[in-house]
Amino acid sequence: MIHDLPVTAGQAGVALSLTYNGFPRIVEVHAVGVSSAGNRLMRVWQVSGGSKSGKFTGWKLMTVSDASNLALTEQVSEAPREGYRRGDRAMVRRIDWQI
């Protein structure tokens, strides 16, 4: 299933390419889980690409169902990035995977 790719990327230690809010991006997945509203989330470090906020690199929280064109890359992930904390509080219901 395409929405399992964030976990696959994290486990494989490679970056994930995707489109989010209309911007192509390359991200390193640090955690995947479910919010209190039941949305599947991923905590990522954005390596490159666009952003609605104007911040082109750094920490992002993304709703997996809002991402499109997901694909594994051959780029090695540098996760865990500085500032990462296990037990992401945004993933209240459960954490399915974390680095």
Mean pLDDT by 10 residues, the chain (99 residues): 85 98 98 97 98 93 97 98 97 96
pLDDT of the residue at 3: 65
Q: Dihedral of CA 51/55/57/62: which sign? A: negative
pLDDT of the residue at 70: 97
Query: What's this model's pTM, rounded to 2 decimal places?
Result: 0.95
